[in-house]
Amino acid sequence: MHKRAPAWLGKWLVSGPPLLYLVVFFAVPSLIMVLASFRTPGEFGGLAPLVDESGAVDLTLDSYTRLLSEPLYAEIFVKSFWYALVTTVVCLVLAYPLATLIAKSERRHRDLLLLLVILPFWSNFLIRVYAWMIILGPNAALARAVNGVLALFGHEPVPLLFSAFAVLVCLVYVHLPFMVLPLYANLEKHDQSLLDAAQDLGASAWQRFWRITFPLSLPGVYAGSALVFIPAFGIFAIPDILGGPDDSLIGNVIKQQFLETRDWPFGSVLSLVLTVLALALAGLAAWIGQRGVGRLASGDA
Amino acid sequence: MALLEIQDVTRRFGDFTAVDKVSLSIRAGEFFTLLGPSGCGKTTLLRMIAGFDVPDGGAILLDGEDLAQRPPEGRPVRTVFQSYALFPHMTVQGNIAFPLKMARTPAADIPAKVEEALADVRLTGFGKRFPHELSGGQRQRVAIARALVTHPTVLLLDEPLAALDAKLREEMQIELINLQKEVGITFIYVTHDQTEALALSHRIAVMNKGRVEQIDEPDRLYGLPRTRFVAEFIGTCNLLTGPVTGSADGVVTVDVPDLGPVRVSAQGAQATRPEGAVAVRPEKVRLHAPGSAPARDNHFTGAVTGFLYQGDVTVYMVRSERGHTLEALLANSGSGLAKFFEVGDAVELSWPADAGHFIDG
Ligand SMILES: Nc1ncnc2c1ncn2[C@@H]1O[C@H](COP(=O)(O)OP(=O)(O)OP(=O)(O)O)[C@@H](O)[C@H]1O
Ligand SMILES: [Mg+2]
């Protein structure tokens, strides 16, 4: 008689390769960083030998003490948090109507509209960031128009480029599709009969949105927010290219530690804190969200 | 005066007329049913009453007020959707409280009203559950409670029991009848199931191809169908058609080509056209062994060509001498005898003139 392969074998065959990939490229590097964060920086970068000449094991908490004793780094974490948060909120506000529009448009138009949303991915990320240098540059039409208007009110001209404004505009631009796509995927599944029922039961257009559409779209809102917030929190290329000296974010500092200052242990500490913070924030948001949905649901809201 | 007046309402989709000059007047407190085959325009008519669709002609008046300018959220009309349309992110309580909140009911009054509505549909104690934690029948009841909690003037129900199994459907039918009696709200019920319509309704409008064929109480609809469509759609019927050859002393004679002359009491109906039809329900047709039939107004001989045993009754198909097939229904005796005749048996068929029903045209 033919013997069936055990169920566990199938499960491992399916989940094994991705699991292996994650272990090799995420868990192992993370572990290396954890270990590196307790080491001493090498004289010419990298790490000092684990066992020094005298035979003592060289493990230290120096990098952690440094993070806690120099308020500069906490400030940069806070600043990065705000940049990421503003980016997420602006993306959400812009993406929600757009995703709704696509989800409600005729089926044959949807593919085209979605294609337009992901069209920017067809060109290189850095090229798109550099393009903003031209758009926001002092001689471009935009800067001239803005400063022309400011001049009418007797205001000094302001540079658009190399500013927090330039960084935020580009952060929003780069991350917008990551908000639109999960929102669209969610809104597209909404059941029109629920909205009909709500209207039948006396709900105005605004109430239908706020009580039915929005709460049901929260999974899409969370997915999009996570996809925008987490990369925006650690980004370094955009502030590097478009930001001024005050717009260095935590990503820039980490990059600096590894490539310029060559303090790998401290860079590892910053990087670990960034990861832990991002995870904690995502968890917190999900928890608040759950309670929010619960409140709307039981009808207390 | 009628509560809901539907006057010459028409709805076209392109050059297809889904609802064609329908006029109905529905009384307060009535259980009124729209019955008809799939695609006859029942849902379209219901959506126009709810306000989701706009008539191309005619008017809908509620309590004398033309509803044309009122959006769905502004009509004292509630719908129970076939798919239930319960809000999945809200508990049963949240669902039922929803229309109360939309009506700006003081928050303090809401819990008591929700409890009352739950009790009405026998779901006390289920308030904290989410829709996905309920069975089909329970969801159906939540949808009804949610629609009734604000005491609308009219409740519209679009095939609300279609998704339930036969046993549960029967239970829910009885509950619906009781509920409607209890709350006294006008129900407009849509179904394509004639037994359901007959069991539930005070009055039924039979629709066909966007038109209303007949509006009547269930027993009159069954006993006195006015058109061939109604006769055939409501229950099973032997429809015997042919030229009208005589009309005297209140008895009309129709010469059915492959059967013979059939005599039927006119019962007030007039034979105004050369053609006519006699509708005879299978249970009115008597079957006898050859030679034993009493003298009746209609008497034919034939042979059994088949039968369907249905437990309490058996339906016999009988082919007359000249080739017309009639159905006759015999109740089975309690003593376990389930068959009186076998296929091929010669039989005599008979029924009195007043057992049939004349349809003009
Ligand atoms: N939006 C629409 N566009 C075009 N045709 C439509 C539209 N809505 C309904 N129809 C047509 O109108 C006719 C009546 O539809 P309706 O839904 O009212 O039927 P129904 O009596 O409710 O049938 P069922 O018992 O199958 O639900 C159908 O032939 C349908 O195809
Ligand atoms: Mg329908």
Name the least confident of A152-161, A196-205, A262-271, B179-188.
A152-161
Contact B91 A298 (CB under 8 A): yes
Contact A297 B91 (CB under 8 A): yes
Q: Other CB atoms closer than 10 Å to residue A244's CB: what's the count? A: 15
What mean pLDDT do residues B50-68 have?
94
Q: What residues have CB less than 8 Å from B202, skipping those under 6 apart?
A: B30, B31, B32, B217
**Closest approach of B197 to chain A, Cα-based (Å):** 24
pLDDT band (50, 70, 90) for residue B271: confident
Distance from the alpha carbon of residue B75 to the mean position of ligand 1, in angstroms: 23
Residue-wise DSSP of B114-136: HHHHHHHTT-TT-TT--GGGS-H
- Dihedral of the CA atoms A3, A6, A7, A11 (nearest 10)? -120
What mean pLDDT do residues A18-29 have?
92
Supply the residue whose CA is at minimum distance from atom 17 of ligand 1: B43
With the most atoms of ligand 1 within 8 angstroms of its CB, the residue from B43, B79, B156 to mutate is: B43
Size of interface A-B (CB pairs under 8 A): 79
**Closest approach of B52 to chain A, Cα-based (Å):** 8
Judged by its nearest atom, the ligand closest to the C-alpha of residue B34 is: 1
Q: What residues have CB less than 8 Å from B6, skipping those under 6 apart?
A: B22, B23, B24, B25, B26, B45, B49, B58, B60, B61
What mean pLDDT do residues B2-9 have?
95
Give SS3 for B185: coil
Distance from the alpha carbon of residue B210 to the mean position of ligand 1, in angstroms: 10
pLDDT band (50, 70, 90) for residue B335: low
Closest Cα in chain A to B72: A200
What mean pLDDT do residues B322-334 have?
85
Q: ipTM score here?
A: 0.82
Calculate the average pLDDT of chain A: 90
Does residue A156 surpass a pLDDT of 80? yes
Report pLDDT digits (tens) over A121-152: 899 999 999 999 999 988 888 888 988 899 89
Question: Percent of chain B having pLDDT more than 70?
Answer: 98
b/e burial code for range A256-277 (CB count within 10 A of at least 16 → b)? bbbeeebbbbbbbbbbbbbeeb
Q: For domain B236-360, which CATH number applies: 3.40.50.2300, 2.40.50.140, 3.30.70.20, 3.30.420.40?
A: 2.40.50.140
**Closest approach of B67 to chain A, Cα-based (Å):** 14
CA angle, A269 as apex, A268 and A275 as ends, to 5°? 85
The 8 Å CB, 24+ separation contacts for A146-153 are none
Burial class (CB in 10 A: 0-12, 13-18, 19+), B357: buried
CATH superfamily of B4-228: P-loop containing nucleotide triphosphate hydrolases (3.40.50.300)
Q: Which helix (H) or strand (E) holds B305?
A: strand B298-309
Query: How many Cα atoms sit within 13 Å of B274 on the Cβ side?
Result: 0
Q: Could you state, in order of their start, the residue ranges of all structural domains in chain B?
A: 4-228, 236-360
* pLDDT at res. A253: 93
What mean pLDDT do residues B142-156 have?
94
**A152 or A286: whose pLDDT is higher?**
A152
Report pLDDT digits (tens) over B241-263: 999 998 888 889 999 988 989 99
Supply the residue whose CA is at minimum distance from atom 16 of ligand 1: B41
In a domain, A126, yes or no: yes
Q: What are phi and psi of A81, to 5 degrees?
A: -60, -45
Establish if B112 touches chain A: CB-CB under 8 angstroms.
no
Question: Percent of chain A having pLDDT more than 90?
Answer: 65
Domain that holds residue A181: 74-300
* pLDDT at res. B106: 95
In a domain, A61, yes or no: no
**A126 or A46: whose pLDDT is higher?**
A126
Give the whole-angstrom CA distance, residue B178 versus residue B158. 18
Kindly report the CATH number assigned to the domain that includes residue A182: 1.10.3720.10
Does residue B102 surpass a pLDDT of 60? yes
In a domain, A31, yes or no: no
Report pLDDT digits (tens) over A224-242: 999 999 999 999 999 999 9
What mean pLDDT do residues A191-216 have?
95
Which candidate, B41, B313, B68, B62, places its Cα nearest to that of B186? B62
Contact B72 A200 (CB under 8 A): yes
Six token digits for residue B280: 């005879």
* pLDDT at res. A49: 82
Q: Which helix (H) or strand (E) holds A221?
A: helix A214-233
Report pLDDT digits (tens) over A57-84: 888 899 999 999 999 999 999 999 999 9
**Closest approach of A106 to chain B, Cα-based (Å):** 19
Contact A207 B102 (CB under 8 A): yes
Closest Cα in chain B to A197: B85
Burial class (CB in 10 A: 0-12, 13-18, 19+), B137: middle
pTM (two decimals): 0.82
Chain B hits for A296, Cβ within 8 Å: 89-90, 94
B39 lines ligand 1 (CB under 6 A): yes
Q: Measure CA B269 to chain center.
A: 23
Contact A299 B81 (CB under 8 A): no
Chain B hits for A198, Cβ within 8 Å: 87, 98
Does residue A247 surpass a pLDDT of 70? yes
Burial class (CB in 10 A: 0-12, 13-18, 19+), B75: buried
* pLDDT at res. A301: 43
Does residue A277 surpass a pLDDT of 90? yes
Q: What residues have CB less than 8 Å from B309, skipping those under 6 apart?
A: B338, B339
Calculate the average pLDDT of chain B: 91
A58 in Cβ contact with A51 (< 8 Å): yes
Give the whole-angstrom CA distance, residue B29 versus residue B186. 4
pLDDT band (50, 70, 90) for residue A300: very low
Does residue B51 surpass a pLDDT of 90? yes
Domain count within chain A: 1
Report pLDDT digits (tens) over B172-231: 899 899 999 988 999 999 999 999 999 999 999 999 999 999 999 999 999 888 899 999
Nearest beta carbon to residue A196 from set B74, B85, B147: B85
Six token digits for residue B104: 């700006």
* Residue carrying structure tokens 């010669």: B346
Q: Residues 30-59, chain B: which have Cβ within 8 Å of A?
A: 50, 52
In a domain, A36, yes or no: no
